[in-house]
Amino acid sequence: MAQRETWATRTGFILAAVGSAVGLGNIWRFPFVTGEGGGAAFLLVYLLFVALIGFPAILAEFVVGRRTDRNPVGALKAYGGGAWKYVGGIFIATGFIILSYYSVIGGWFIRYAIEGFRGDYASHIAAYEGDPEIMFGALSTGLDAFILHTVFMAITVGIVALGIRQGIELAVKVMVPAIILLLVGLAIWAFTLPESGGGYEYYLSPDFSVIAANWAELLPAAAGQAFFTLSLGMGVMITYASYLGEDRNLTRDGITIIGFDTGIAFLTGLVVFPIMWAGALTEPGSGGPGEIFVAMTQAFADVSGGQFLGLIFFATVAIAAISSAISLLEVVTSYAIDEIGIERWKAAIGMGGVIYLLGVPVTYDLIFLDLLDYFADAILLVFGALMLTILVGWIAPQAAVDELEKGIGNLGTLGQVWIWALRIPIVIVLIISLYLGVVEYVDFLTGDFAGWLDENL
Ligand code: PFF
């Protein structure tokens, strides 16, 4: 069998993991969830969750990946024994499903960036009865969406097909610094816009009363966001760590990755809210799929320099989405390479092709986005994360501590603190989130989705 690939440099691994973590979750979702959750007060809760839950959980994926040097199915089988391979299978399925619609959303961002090339956003909106919502409706489904879903997936497949060093590592070395630079530039520009001040106030002044009133929804939302944004629960970090050598200090890498992800999410808030306020939009809505497109396009139509600002903004998000999408496809591809034994480029094209087909219905009707997203994100992902936590925390903790100590040295009681964090608090949070996710999904199936079927069949 061919030698298993590895990262060329430590930076390559870190950038790839940051590239995976920074994506639509940070840019499309985070600012709105934060806005709704009382601004800075939510931010504090979220930071707490990232540190107390995200950090132990990302280390758990790292140790399993590096110890076994396998894709998630092979890794869980090697780490936990035979039946655990089915949990690995759930990871693969989750990646499969999430990537299918992630690609469609990524395509929307490419589409909106193209609009910026072709003229200013005000005249684009004017072409859709002057309503950015109608514009989003027209662009988010149908032929446009289909073509850009195709483009997005083709780019993703192309990068993964080229391999770890020549494909993913090279791509993220360009993409991640570009994302950071562009966002910093946008944030500075946003700062100079008139009337942007209200945006900072909304984002940064803590309103604890919102949390006190809605904690039952907001706490699971903060936990879910912490997992999603760190790409946990579907084996991305297992897979990426499987290409590592033994000498890395995984805690240090984990802290670096989490630091970048959180910093970039925070930075995005400094772009989105001031621009919205400058465009006289002062009510961020529910963060649904169209929210950021509708709100930001209107803002870009209204502020001076909006055409260029918008072009850069949408393109930046598209880049961030691609660097996340490649990690999802890598999970599935590494599975096909290791377990089915096919060559990398065939695996990437074959798996990418099937995932692409699964995403096509989303370009027909957005009800399929909800159908896939609620299921993968709120149920499968949480279930996968829960099982991995149980495996590392309860079933085989010693191997995990041994593995973590490689490259660090004796951890003493810190190792035990880590294991106990996994065993009790994280398991509890995940069980509650899973329960809420199932309730929400049943609600959706019997409500919105049943209604849609009635109307359309
Ligand atoms: N972390 C990515 C984001 O915040 O957009 C999304 C993501 C990528 C989730 C990869 C899960 C994953 F495996």
Structural domain range at position 141:
10-456
pTM: 0.94
Tell whether 362 is covered by a domain: yes
- For the ranges 218-232, 239-253, 312-326, 391-405, which has the lowest average pLDDT? 218-232
Residue of minimum CA distance from atom 9 in ligand 1:
231
Tell whether 4 is covered by a domain: no
Tell whether 185 is covered by a domain: yes
Pocket test for ligand 1, best of 229, 230, 232 (most atoms within 8 A of CB): 229
CATH number, domain with residue 130: 1.10.4160
Distance from the CA of 380 to the center of ligand 1, in angstroms? 14
Tell whether 263 is covered by a domain: yes
CB distance 25 to ligand 1 below 6 Å:
yes
Q: How far is CA 233 from CA 152, 186, 220, 354, in A?
A: 23, 32, 15, 21
CB distance 236 to ligand 1 below 6 Å:
yes
Over residues 291-308, mean pLDDT: 89
Q: How many domains does the chain have?
A: 1
CB distance 240 to ligand 1 below 6 Å:
no
Task: Record the tokens describing residue 178, joined without a space.
Answer: 């570009």
pLDDT(407) > 60: yes
Distance from the CA of 450 to the center of ligand 1, in angstroms? 29
Tell whether 5 is covered by a domain: no
Tell whether 1 is covered by a domain: no
Could you tell me the pLDDT band of residue 288, with boundaries at 50, 70 and 90?
low
Number of other residues whose CB lies within 10 A of the CB of residue 369? 21
pLDDT(88) > 90: yes
What's the confidence (pLDDT) of residue 286? 54
Residue found by looking up tokens 């084996």 in the block: 235
What's the confidence (pLDDT) of residue 1? 47
CB distance 229 to ligand 1 below 6 Å:
yes
Tell whether 343 is covered by a domain: yes
Q: How far is CA 23 from CA 29, 64, 270, 347, 446, in A?
A: 9, 24, 16, 24, 31
Ligand 1 closest atom vs CA 23:
5
> CA-to-CA distance for 401 and 396, rounded, in angstroms?
9
Tell whether 379 is covered by a domain: yes
Ligand 1 closest atom vs CA 324:
8
Distance from the CA of 279 to the center of ligand 1, in angstroms? 29
How do residues 307-346 score in pLDDT, each as one tens digit? 999 999 999 999 999 999 999 999 999 999 999 999 999 9
DSSP SS3 for 152: helix
Q: Half-sphere exposure of 61 toward its Cβ, with a 13 Å CA cutoff?
A: 31
For the chain, give the percent of residues with pLDDT over 90: 73
Over residues 366-393, mean pLDDT: 93
Distance from the CA of 385 to the center of ligand 1, in angstroms? 13
How do residues 249-275 score in pLDDT, each as one tens digit? 999 999 999 999 999 999 999 998 898
